[in-house]
């Protein structure tokens, strides 16, 4: 049995904001795994729980794994995205500020741990109907691409690169960092949680952090997500399922009493809305365009790993 080291950090005693870091092992390489960066985090928090239970049952850990199951305590308790204390979204203020607002101080403490890790994986929950996939700056940084492809989920999507996000700031600082997106914001999707847990455990075995034989996996690298918006108001009825490969002008669904909705893109259908009432402009599907293996522009975008400052 691996003994867990628990480090509780008080951020704001007045509001009871505290971070609980659970560390298994104390050697290198080290992995930092976080979840619940906001309150829409049912499945990713459960996946963290499953990881913790597995690591507790292991006989040894050769490197170290630190898990922060709830990165943003107050929004997590309230089930909201932004903190009611300062109206800030935690995943937009990194690297944070030691003397800033509560959210900025939470970010600063997480960033302090991030800067000491060899690998950073942020678990996020998305809309109900999506495939589990990796989101990362894989076209920008070699060290990020290496991590993204070794996790072994079927699809790696190019992140939009918004600064202030944990994985984006870490990637620019030379830290291999990705987010894993899975379905289930309000209710736990147990199948997705187990799938992500197994992908992370396989990665930890590849890196020699935990014992066991790793499994070879294949990953499809894609570009940034293209959104499909509803052109009319009404009940949307999907025609496809997440994970399907679609072509331009494929029928993805229909707004009842209106014409069918055709995809202007081709690629992998990463997510699609379940049947629901939608309004004009609502996003009803996300498509990740596949990258040509013969693309010379992609190779030109890859930047070498930035030397770390510590």
Q: List Cα–Cα distances, 144 to 101, 129, 174, in angstroms.
A: 30, 26, 9
Domain-wise residue ranges, the chain = 4-220, 225-288
CATH domain 4-220 topology? Aminopeptidase (3.40.630)
Q: Do domains 4-220 and 225-288 have the same CATH topology?
A: no
Phi, psi of 18 (to 5 degrees): -145, 150
pTM to 2 decimals? 0.92
Q: Give yes or no for a contact between 122 and 34, defined as CB atoms under 8 angstroms apart.
A: yes
Q: Which residue pairs, CB below 8 angstroms and at least 24 apart, start in 14-19?
A: 15/74, 15/85, 15/102, 16/73, 16/74, 17/73, 17/74, 17/102, 17/106, 18/73, 19/68, 19/70, 19/71, 19/73, 19/106, 19/109, 19/110
Encode the chain (310 residues) as per-residue pLDDT tens digits.
Answer: 788 999 999 999 988 899 999 999 999 999 999 999 999 999 999 999 999 999 999 889 999 999 999 999 999 999 999 999 999 999 999 999 999 999 999 999 999 999 999 999 999 998 778 999 999 999 999 999 999 999 989 999 999 999 999 999 999 999 999 999 999 999 999 999 999 999 999 999 999 999 999 998 889 999 999 999 999 999 999 999 999 999 999 999 999 998 899 999 999 999 999 999 999 999 999 999 998 532 433 443 566 555 554 4
CATH-assigned architecture of domain 225-288: Beta Barrel (2.40)
Return the HEC string of 110-125: HHHHHCCCCEEEEEEE
The full DSSP string for 179-235 is: EEEEE-SSS--HHHHHHHHHHHHHHHHHTTSS-S-------EEB-SPEEEE-SS-EE
């Amino acid at each position: 049995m691996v003994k867990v080291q628990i480090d509780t950090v008080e951020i704001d005693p007045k509001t009871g904001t505290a971070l609980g870091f659970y560390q298994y092992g104390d050697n290198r390489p080290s992995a930092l795994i976080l979840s619940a960066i906001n309150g829409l985090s049912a499945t990713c928090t459960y996946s963290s729980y499953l990881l913790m239970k597995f690591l507790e049952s292991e006989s040894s850990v050769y490197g170290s794994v630190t898990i922060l199951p709830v990165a943003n305590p107050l929004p997590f308790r309230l089930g909201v995205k932004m903190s009611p204390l300062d109206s800030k979204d935690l995943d937009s203020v990194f690297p944070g500020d030691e003397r800033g607002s509560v959210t900025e101080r939470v970010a600063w403490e997480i960033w302090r741990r991030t800067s000491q890790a060899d690998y950073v994986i942020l678990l996020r929950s998305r809309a109900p109907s999506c495939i589990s996939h990796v989101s990362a700056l894989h076209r920008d940084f070699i060290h990020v691409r290496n991590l993204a492809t070794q996790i072994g989920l079927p699809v790696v999507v190019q992140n939009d690169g918004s600064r202030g996000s944990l994985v984006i700031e870490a990637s620019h600082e030379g830290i291999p960092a990705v987010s894993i997106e899975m379905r289930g914001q309000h209710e736990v999707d147990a199948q997705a949680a187990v799938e992500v847990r197994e992908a992370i455990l396989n990665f930890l075995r590849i890196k020699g952090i935990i014992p066991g034989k790793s499994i070879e996996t294949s990953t499809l690298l894609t570009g940034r997500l293209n959104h499909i918006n509803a052109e009319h108001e009404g009940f949307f009825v999907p025609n496809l399922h997440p994970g399907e490969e679609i072509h331009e002008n494929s029928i993805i669904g229909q707004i009842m009493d209106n014409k069918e909705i055709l995809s202007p893109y081709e690629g992998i259908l990463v997510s699609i809305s379940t049947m629901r009432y939608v309004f004009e402009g609502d996003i009803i599907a996300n498509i990740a365009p596949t990258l040509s293996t013969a693309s010379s522009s992609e190779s030109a975008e890859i930047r070498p790993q930035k030397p770390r400052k510590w």
